[in-house]
Amino acid sequence: MLVDSHCHLDFPDLIQNEADMLARMADNGVTHALCVAVKLETLAGVIGAAERHPNVFASVGVHPDNADCEEPDEARLLELAAHPKVVAIGETGLDYYWHKDAPEWQRERFRTHIRAARRCAKPLIIHTRDSAADTLRLMQEEGAGEAGGVMHCFTETLEVAKSALDLGFHISFSGIVSFKNAESLRDVVRYVPADRLLVETDAPYLAPVPFRGKTNQPAYVRHVAEAVAAARGETLEAVAEVTTRNFFRLFKDARP
């Protein structure tokens, strides 16, 4: 039993083959998936996927890369988060790779998401790229630990992981952990406590070995879990058990 804790089922590469994608999930023992929002203009597709399938859940948020889109305030996020299939706020965070000028609007958007998550008591899904120091600073300043959540598709250093863990956050690993040149990331995998560990695909991106370079899908989270298990010297079954338990403990509204 595995859960894909972060994917984008509403994206064209996946939605056009939805039935086949869900069948492949079942064939690989992937019982549930969290479809993560990236902007409000496409939220209907995220919610729609969750409404069509009892084993799919949704989040509400605006990705830090998206500049030309509806800018949510707390009230709007809270309104949208009230949907019964919405279990998280995000994805949100900071990305200075694409926005090298580190725009203040991005930081203010992140603060808005944290405040909304605290108010509605739903966990945060946090994206950070080339921005770890500011990401952690804003998490501390805004009390993100009160809401809790996950550092998704983690690729940062062990020191960043330790800081996030100190704030009470989970760490989620994607197919990158299976890449040949990701040994430093596997060091982080070995460090993260079992009760803070999650796995994801970030589909349709970042397909794990042996599918690297192809369109990713939730079924492939099994290969992510296998890479995590190999790095930790554990069985796939053990990693599947703890990551599934962690998912339903963190995302309380997804519990049966």
Q: What's the pLDDT score for residue 92?
A: 98
- Reported as a pLDDT band with limits 50, 70 and 90, residue 98 is confident
Average pLDDT over residues 64-68: 90
Give backbone dihedrals phi and psi of 203, rounded to 5 degrees, phi first.
-55, 140
pTM score above 0.95: yes
Residue 102 has pLDDT above 70, yes or no: no
d(C-alpha 6, C-alpha 47), whole Å? 14
Q: What's the pLDDT score for residue 54?
A: 97
d(C-alpha 223, C-alpha 202), whole Å? 13
- Reported as a pLDDT band with limits 50, 70 and 90, residue 60 is very high
